[in-house]
Amino acid sequence: MAAASSSSSLSIQPIFSPAAASPTNSNKPNLLSFPSSSNPTPISLKLVNSSQNPTSQGSVVRNALKVAESARTASLDTRDRAAEADSGPRPAILVSEKLGEAGLKLLRGFGNVECLYNLSQEELCKRISEFDALIVRSGTKVTRQVFEAAKGGLKVVGRAGVGIDNVDLQAATEFGCLVVNAPTANTVAAAEHGIALLASMARNVAQADASMKAGKWERSKYVGVSLVGKTLAIMGFGKVGSEVARRAKGLGMHVIAHDPYAPADRARAMSVDLVSFDQAIATADFISLHMPLTPTTSKLFNDETFAKMKKGVRIINVARGGVIDEDALVRALDSGVVAQAALDVFAEEPPSKDSKLVQHHNVTVTPHLGASTKEAQEGVAIEIAEAVVGALNGELSATAVNAPMVPPEVLSELAPYVVLAEKLGRLAVQIVAGGKGIQSVKVVYRSARDPDDLDTRLLRAMITKGIIEPISSSFINLVNADYTAKQKGLRISEERVTVDSSPESPVDSIQIKISNMQSKFASAVTDNGDISIEGKVKDGIPRLTCIGTFDVDVSLEGNLILCRQLDQPGMIGQVGNILGQHNVNVSFMSVGRTARRKQAVMAIGVDEAPDKETLMKVGAVPAVKEFVFLDL
Ligand SMILES: NC(=O)c1ccc[n+]([C@@H]2O[C@H](COP(=O)([O-])OP(=O)(O)OC[C@H]3O[C@@H](n4cnc5c(N)ncnc54)[C@H](O)[C@@H]3O)[C@@H](O)[C@H]2O)c1
Ligand SMILES: O=C(O)[C@H](O)COP(=O)(O)O
């Protein structure tokens, strides 16, 4: 007999798996379990909102209404959240920059909030491991060192605003920390500030104001330029860019835009011409920057690109300072290629006091005030507080920056399959034998739906979680599943097979195939040498339906004993007796066989994990050829 079970498999425990924490939770999807040094409660992830890129006036208005409604219900929410939070330990939330009161109120109703402003990087690193969540604006650098110092305890970083260039997203992902932002509530404020800078620059408002305050009356010195009929190039036709465009058109400007990713129909609907980068900068009288700071956009405006601009061009930047080579801009201003610049953002903030750019007489500056209106700050605070509370509650808001976005309806449909995927992963890894880790896994999804109609990212992440967590100290969640798999040399390939089943179900079955590995349960190996297991969801319950070439039908939960035996009468009784004598309650049983009186696989669900002696007795039944005990 090739007995394969050992008590060591009994000790395989997931880190913060709901199945382990509470058997009643075992069929709830656990898409994102966060690591925690202080709070052992598993956190699952539910998707709650899918409005991702609201750029139209309608959606901005809707968002404004949403913000107003959120503000109205904030206190109610706070009570609800407080009641909810009473049932468990309260998360610790660090707010490192000034946040609107309504957001703080919401956070305080949910967790223990500490506002520590102006922390140095060293101080932040020193304190961060005490917190589950960190809320920042653009002034806090959330570097790799911060994530390292958090020692896996930081579950979510909330960026109270749009730009996430101050957060090391790669490090966040590696540490399984969700990053959420508040992308919509300050759009209008930023656009209004852009327009304010455009108009005040054109009419020398700041310079004239300073001159008057110095006791002068210099009317001819501050003759401006008109906006009407001038061409404005919007560089980055996203949320802020389109709102600036809309307002500029109201001022009678001719608006063109450059954005390689902007949908042409959105521009057309606003009568804005989408043009190439070179065309935009060569024809514009005013250039307004609205793209994010990325490796591609860093110093995009430099000596070479300034040289291609129309002489006397005027530049507005309310995006990010780093998109401009600031030394090159000073040169362009000195040579007159750029007549004026109006800047709200700088490569380094605050810029040095003797910055030539800030001091330049043709430059108007503001200290990163784009989002700083009362309305925007209240809106952003509520938006980020809701996203952070949601994330700590296990919800994935539509503003997650480093996790896949899946519409809520897709998520709710996939929920039982997500559990199935994780269970199959956990089962697969427990039947693999040998010291070398699993290198390659093939997942076959059988579905009646068109392959494009099935988003498998969640399922893949949960299979990865199921495979890796039982055999390592890594915790896996939706944020870091792909990254961790790659790090561990685990390659997961996917295949979708269209089958003639009900298109009502997104997936008919999920099969996991592992090649080039021995199995602790030889019956799990198919004729071509792959370890193969397959499962389905029936009545909302994930079930194991095939192992190797044997059809079975057992619920994938709790503890499972798989036995291969000679198909002969009395087997169920014999094994059942042994378990009964050792006070192990059988919860279900299923037998699959190749042919009558040949080989059969018996799958037995047990409420209690049998001890080693009991398992040895099961293995000693003469007709039992092999068996394995699995902790799902
Ligand atoms: N000054 C402030 O206080 C303030 C306030 C809000 C936003 N911002 C900044 O403004 C910028 C835009 O914010 P948003 O909310 O409109 O973001 P958004 O994501 O809605 O829009 C950015 C747009 O830039 C485009 N883009 C990306 N790369 C590009 C490239 N190489 N060339 C041209 N376009 C490119 C994208 O396709 C997108 O449409 C961000 O950098 C944000 O941080 C600043
Ligand atoms: O990206 C943003 O949202 C703006 O730059 C606002 O940044 P702030 O929150 O630091 O004002």
Domain count, the chain: 4
Answer yes or no: is the C-beta of 161 below 6 A from any ligand 2 atom. Answer: yes
For residue 3 the two structure tokens come to 């007995």
- The CATH number linked to 125 is 3.40.50.720
- The CATH number linked to 444 is 3.30.1330.90
**Helices marked H in 303-373:** 303-307, 326-335, 356-359
Residues 522 and 575 grouped into a single domain: no
Full domain range(s) for residue 144: 92-181+377-393
269 falls in which pLDDT band (50, 70, 90)? very high
Ligand nearest to the CA of 239: 1
Residues 455 and 320 grouped into a single domain: no
182-206 tens-digit pLDDT: 999 999 999 999 999 999 999 999 9
Strands of the 112-115 sheet, one edge to the other: 112-115, 92-95, 133-136, 156-159, 178-181
Whether residue 274 contacts residue 220, with contact meaning beta carbons closer than 8 Å, is answered with no
Residues 214 and 352 grouped into a single domain: yes
Residues 331 and 446 grouped into a single domain: no
Catalytic residue list: 320, 349, 368
Residue 38 within any structural domain of the chain: no
Residues 100 and 210 grouped into a single domain: no
Residue 317 within any structural domain of the chain: yes
Q: Looking at residue 37, what is its pLDDT? A: 39
Phi, then psi, of 111 in degrees rounded to 5: -145, -175
Residue 84 within any structural domain of the chain: no
The alpha carbon of 54 and the centre of ligand 2 are apart by a number of angstroms equal to 18
Residues 140 and 116 grouped into a single domain: yes
Residues 34, 45: Cα–Cα separation, whole Å:
10
Residues 133, 391: Cα–Cα separation, whole Å:
9
Return the DSSP state at 474: -
For residue 245 the two structure tokens come to 């465009």
Mean pLDDT of all residues in 557-576: 83
Residue bearing tokens 């699952």: 44
Residue 607 within any structural domain of the chain: yes
Residue 345 within any structural domain of the chain: yes
Residue 14 within any structural domain of the chain: no
Does the CA dihedral 323-324-326-327 come out positive or negative?
positive
Strands of the 586-593 sheet, one edge to the other: 586-593, 599-606, 559-566, 624-631
- The CATH number linked to 625 is 3.30.70.260
221-251 tens-digit pLDDT: 999 999 999 999 999 999 999 999 999 999 9
405-448 tens-digit pLDDT: 667 677 788 889 999 999 999 999 999 986 567 889 999 999 99
Residues 228 and 360 grouped into a single domain: yes
Q: Pick the residue with more confidence: 70 or 234?
A: 234
Contacts of residue 399, defined as CB under 8 A and 6 or more positions apart, other chains included, come to 49, 180, 181, 182, 183, 383, 387
Ligand nearest to the CA of 160: 2
Give the strand pairing for 92-95 and 112-115.
parallel
Residue nearest atom 7 of ligand 2, based on CA coordinates: 138
Q: Is 50 exposed, middle or buried (0-12, 13-18, 19+ CB in 10 A)?
A: middle
The alpha carbon of 80 and the centre of ligand 1 are apart by a number of angstroms equal to 35
Q: What are the Cα distances from residue 120, in Å, to 96, 97, 126, 149, 283?
A: 10, 12, 10, 14, 44
Give me the DSSP letters along 106-159. Answer: HHHTTSEEEE-TT--HHHHHHHGGG-SEEEE-TTS-B-HHHHHHHTT---EEEE
pTM of the predicted protein model: 0.75
Residues 249 and 155 grouped into a single domain: no
Residues 473 and 574 grouped into a single domain: no
Q: Is the ipTM of this complex over 0.85?
A: yes
> If you average pLDDT over every residue of the chain, what do you get?
84
Residues 515 and 429 grouped into a single domain: yes
Residues 462 and 328 grouped into a single domain: no
Segment holding 206, helix H or strand E:
helix 205-213
Distance from chain centroid for Cα 207: 45
Q: Looking at residue 592, what is its pLDDT? A: 74
pLDDT at 110 over 50: yes
HEC assignment per residue over 44-57: CCEECCCCCCCCCH
The alpha carbon of 198 and the centre of ligand 2 are apart by a number of angstroms equal to 19
Residue 313 within any structural domain of the chain: yes
Q: Looking at residue 497, what is its pLDDT? A: 94
For residue 33 the two structure tokens come to 């379990």
CB neighbours (10 Å) of residue 166?
Answer: 18
76 falls in which pLDDT band (50, 70, 90)? very low
Mean pLDDT of all residues in 506-513: 96
Q: Is 573 exposed, middle or buried (0-12, 13-18, 19+ CB in 10 A)?
A: exposed
Residues 329, 336: Cα–Cα separation, whole Å:
10
Q: What are the Cα distances from residue 129, in Å, to 40, 57, 566?
A: 15, 42, 56
Residue 613 within any structural domain of the chain: yes
Lining residues, ligand 1, CB within 6 Å:
162-163, 183, 186-187, 190, 235-241, 258-262, 290-293, 296-297, 318-320, 344-345, 368, 370-371
Residues 7, 484: Cα–Cα separation, whole Å:
28
The alpha carbon of 187 and the centre of ligand 2 are apart by a number of angstroms equal to 10
Phi, then psi, of 62 in degrees rounded to 5: -60, -40
pLDDT at 56 over 80: no
Residues 344 and 388 grouped into a single domain: no
pLDDT at 67 over 80: no
Q: Which of 186, 290, 372 to mutate to test the pocket of ligand 1 (most atoms within 8 A of CB)?
A: 290
Give me the DSSP letters along 17-43. Answer: -HHHH-GGGTTS---BPPP-SS-----
Q: Looking at residue 596, what is its pLDDT? A: 63
pLDDT at 153 over 50: yes
Q: Pick the residue with more confidence: 35 or 477?
A: 477
Ligand nearest to the CA of 295: 1
Segment holding 172, helix H or strand E:
helix 169-174
